Amino acid sequence: MARFETVTLVFAPPEVLFDTSLSVETHTASMAGSSERAVAGVTTGLLGLGDQVTWQARHFGLTWRMTSTISAWERPAYFVDEQVSGPFRHWRHEHRFEAAPHAGATLMTDVVDFSAPAGPLGRLAELLVLRRHMTHLINMRNQHIKTILEPSR
């Protein structure tokens, strides 16, 4: 199983960052490069505890679908999305939000645990390609969120 963690400083209060991170529209805009869109379940607005959404996106020249559910949720501190069905053997993404030492800022921490299917070949793909690709996608999403919440910075 692969695991990575990213921490992003965003100059916005935790409540605003929490809600923005749960927005279907924010997510799809941040993943425009892979043509990601919500195709089933909750397809607009904010996701909440127990909600499911099926995402469709293009990665590595292939179209993928992943259905995830919000399995834990405590506003404004954290939420967790987990794959219900899709390309991974396991996918769990924990989003944490805590007030930063800077006034009006929040530390947003993403902790992602995932594993690819296909046994040893999947493990090799995790090490050689997937971890780097997934980290890049999370960082892209976080930069998009910073851009919309920090327009004057």
- The CATH number of whichever domain residue 42 belongs to comes to 3.30.530.20
| 54: CB partners within 8 A, 6+ apart | 38, 39, 40, 41, 65, 66, 67
Q: Is the pTM of this model over 0.75?
A: yes
The pLDDT value recorded for residue 13 is 95
Q: Per residue in 28-80, pLDDT tens?
A: 999 998 999 999 999 999 999 999 999 999 988 889 999 999 999 999 999 99
Q: Which domain holds residue 11?
A: 2-149
- Rounded CA gap, 113 and 131, in Å? 10
- Residue range 71-113, pLDDT digits in tens: 999 999 999 999 999 999 999 999 999 999 888 899 999 999 9
How many structural domains does the chain have? 1
Q: Collapsing DSSP states into helix, strand and coil, what is residue 148?
A: helix
The pLDDT of residue 51: 98
